[in-house]
Amino acid sequence: MPNMSIKKTILSGLSDRQKEAVTHTEGPLLLIAGPGSGKTRVMAHRVAYLVAVKKIPTNNILAVTFTNKAARELKERCERLVSYQKEFLQVRTFHGFCSRILRFEGENIGLSRDFSIFDEDDQKKVIKRSFEDENIDIKQHSPGKIISVISKLKNSIISPEKFSNEVTNFSEEIISRIFSRYQDILLKSNAVDFDDLLLKTFHIFDDNKYILDKYSDLYRYIQIDEFQDTNPLQFRVTKLLSDQNRNLCVVGDPDQSIYSWRYADPTNLTEFKKSFPESTTITLDQSYRSTQNILNAANSLINNNSARSDKNLWTNNGSGGKLILYETNSEEDEARIVLNEIKRLNQSENIPLDEIAIMYRVNAQSRSFEVICNRLAIRYRLIGGVKFYDRQEVKDILAYLRLVSNKSDDTALLRIINTPRRGISDRTVSEITRLAREEGRTIFEIISLIKEEKIKTNLIPRAIKSISEFIELVNNIFEVSNQMDITDLINYIIDKTEYRSYLRRDEEKSITRLENINELIASSDQYIGLDSDVQLSSFLENLALVSSVDFLETGDQIDSNSEELTLITLHQAKGLEYKVVFLVGCEDGLLPHMMSIGDIEALEEERRICYVGITRAKSHLYFSYSTTRMFRGSFGGQILSRFITEIPEHLIVRKRNMGYSNFHMPENSVSYNKDKLDLKTQKNSRSEKLIFLTGSKVKHDIFGEGIVMKNFGEDGEVLFSNFGIKKLMWNYAPIILLEDQNEINFIDPEIDSA
């Protein structure tokens, strides 16, 4: 095919701005891509353009995404567009790319090629071991918080030594000791955590110019997706790698930056412009996903944020219907109303359940919806359960494989040393761990010495016998591992350890667990075509690099032919789309989350989270909230999310239902029964005694509208949309009850008979 014909094919069907982004191949490019603007399509066509039109060899192109799912999708799209040497095109996650660098270059920093990658569960075990080694009471500290602090230090490029020199208090002293011991254990285990993948790659590039030059020459064209979700360390790695050629394209949207807890920094987009002042910026603001009413709501909401680019989403999809807001009496009512509407959409409008999603801010909100789904016989899938590769039986088999790959992996060894049970007690494990620490050796080395009677120990003969049998088992697996493909090796380990028999002892869960083992075996088939010496390492690496945001891959595998409603958190919904979206629990304290109120930056991120939820919807968008909710163990009144009030009223149809369920209000809670509460008789001058029941809606001269959270008689607490909780004296505060708090349209939902 002539070059012009190829070019025409690649650019066919693209908008003018999309074409501009695809053909801008030389020099730095910042692509601001709004939700539904076709950014994945642009990225795929851009790679195809480089290969087919610019004749850039595929091995000179590096495309970086944030999830393995996104990487596969991009690679598949490229393959559909143009024929090329597929095996040479590098489409990887950030961690996957860094892992590859370390496999080849890690020896420069004392890391052998067969290193293990520790996940969160492994990290916690190493942290607990660190506490034991340092003789510190772990009960006084949270392993999860310690891991979080260490992660933050690593992403700030702070070493244990540097942190130790900056300690200012006792708490930091404890963290410093644990951090240092934690890294020692990783080093001796020939292992890294996810933060190390980035940090060690940075150090290799920063400290070894010849290595940096080698990879800069190799990857002359770099393209990075979801750049707003990169952290400062990822940005520094990117800058080092692209500084020479400057052919760097970053794609992102600051309005969709919602991972600050993972140290994502949306200001990296600003830093990009500073680091590459010659860069071109192209904004994709045409949405191919949503109707204009949905986009208008999203635009109005996000315009309240200060830290954002100038972007206004538009579409040719038509205005679409108005957005629906349900006000309900309780979370049970909320679930019933939402799910009855879903049932109607499915049965009357023929909208498949798998085109509908219920989205919420907090995982715990799924409970009431799961209950009603079961009552109404609505099939659903809950996103965010125990991930496949986090399941006990799967991690056990993977631990055997990790030990085969890396004998220094103490964490893997400790996991399976008595799994299945083989008479090795906790006391025995403590003794060999102590010896390993004192001798400065790995646990595998210690138990080998014990078997060979080359080291003194306090162990009884029975314990030594059990250890000897274990080491013989492991050595046998070592011996055969080089003679088998990965699938046969897994089967051999399962048979040799009698793992299936071990699972069958638990009659209640054995079937599910055996199915998971079979699924693991099946997943290894794709690696059989590789050279035998890299099958195991490739298999383990790819599994280790499955990111936490790849929830659809790592969670329960869903039958693509099944029709199920999706229950999902707003964070997990990023990158997905549905015809119908129900954004539930739209209350101050939930969305925005209570922890963000009073913090401008945190509040803006919460607004971005809401923006992400809104822009998942194609044609139907619903909001719902409850005026009362059990939250954090206490029952109280709730106020409509300030984010919903930021959406123009003409875009929303408000519908209200009270008393729909048999739910009984606790004593002293607000009642909306007009026979019990005559609001008009309670609006008095300040000289008269006012009655402020919990849940009453009020207006303050300074603080604006709010809802009474607690009433102590003469005073109480009020939650205000923009000022948080205030304690007020009823007889002196410039405050009135709102007359119109019940003047909302009622709905008459169909009551289920289930």
Instruction: Indicate which residues carry an active-site annotation.
Output: 39-40, 225-226, 256, 616
Strands 221-224 and 61-65, sheet pairing: parallel
Q: Residue 221: what residue type?
A: Y
What are the tokens at 613?
A: 């939820």
What is the residue-wise DSSP string for 324-381?
Answer: EEEEESSHHHHHHHHHHHHHHHHHHS---GGGEEEEESSGGGHHHHHHHHHHTT--EE
Give the C-alpha separation, 680 to 568, whole Å.
Answer: 42
Give the C-alpha separation, 734 to 153, whole Å.
Answer: 48
The per-residue b/e assignment along 25-59, b for 16 or more CB within 10 angstroms, e otherwise, is beebbbbbbbbbbbbbbbbbbbbbbbbbbeebebe
Give the C-alpha separation, 623 to 585, whole Å.
Answer: 8
Contact (CB, 8 A) for 62 and 223: yes
Give the C-alpha separation, 501 to 356, whole Å.
Answer: 41
**Strand, coil or helix: 416:** helix
What are the tokens at 142?
A: 């949270």
* Distance, C-alpha 101 to centroid of its chain: 24
Give the C-alpha separation, 256 to 277, whole Å.
Answer: 24
Give the C-alpha separation, 139 to 143, whole Å.
Answer: 9
Give the C-alpha separation, 708 to 698, whole Å.
Answer: 7
By C-alpha distance, which of 434, 436, 401 is closest to 415? 401
Could you identify the residue written with the tokens 């026979």?
Answer: 675
Three-state DSSP string of 362-377: CHHHHHHHHHHHHHCC
Give the C-alpha separation, 410 to 28, whole Å.
Answer: 45
Phi, psi of 628 (to 5 degrees): -135, 150
Q: Which residues pair with 381 in a beta bridge?
A: 566
Q: What is residue 260's DSSP assignment?
A: G
Give the C-alpha separation, 274 to 709, whole Å.
Answer: 47
Give the C-alpha separation, 590 to 624, whole Å.
Answer: 12
What are the tokens at 509?
A: 């869960």
Give the C-alpha separation, 319 to 529, whole Å.
Answer: 51
Phi, psi of 121 (to 5 degrees): -65, -45
By C-alpha distance, which of 390, 273, 264 is closest to 29? 273
Give the C-alpha separation, 501 to 495, whole Å.
Answer: 9
CA distances from 603 to 173, 325, 646, 679 (A): 33, 22, 14, 33
Helix, strand, coil in percent for the chain, rounding step 5: 50, 15, 35
* Distance, C-alpha 376 to centroid of its chain: 30
Q: How many CA atoms lie within 13 A of 382 on its CB side?
A: 16
Give the C-alpha separation, 385 to 323, whole Å.
Answer: 30
Cis peptide, bond prior to residue 592, ω within 30 of zero: yes
Total residues belonging to the chain: 754
Cis peptide, bond prior to residue 420, ω within 30 of zero: yes
13: left (phi over 0), alpha (psi -120 to 50) or beta: left
Give the C-alpha separation, 146 to 58, whole Å.
Answer: 42
